[in-house]
Amino acid sequence: MTHDWVLCVLNDLKTFAERNRLPILAENLEETKLHAALELSQISAVGAEIKDSYDARKRVVKEMRDH
């Protein structure tokens, strides 16, 4: 996943909240991390599909040129 840094930042914020006795914020950040991981995985999946489609088209064009 190319956006792993977002999850790291959220984790750092959660750690800060826990260390500074901010339990509600820490709990909300944990939930936010889960939502972010889900959405980021969907972005990555779509990106992979687009790349695969592009690579397939590129191969077809190359094959047509080679014949």
Say what the pLDDT of residue 41 is.
Answer: 85
**Mean pLDDT taken over the chain:** 84
In angstroms, how far is the first alpha carbon of the chain from the final one? 38
Residue type, 55: D
Write the pLDDT tens digit of every residue in 37-51.
Answer: 988 888 876 666 666
Element (H, E) at 23: helix 23-66
Taking the alpha carbons of 47, 49, 52, 54 in that order, is the dihedral positive or negative?
negative
Query: Higher model confidence: residue 32 or residue 50?
Result: 32
Whole-number Å distance between alpha carbons of 62 and 67: 9
Write out the DSSP string of 51-64: HHHHHHHHHHHHHH
Query: What is the pTM (predicted TM-score) of this model?
Result: 0.64
Q: Residue 44: what pLDDT? A: 73
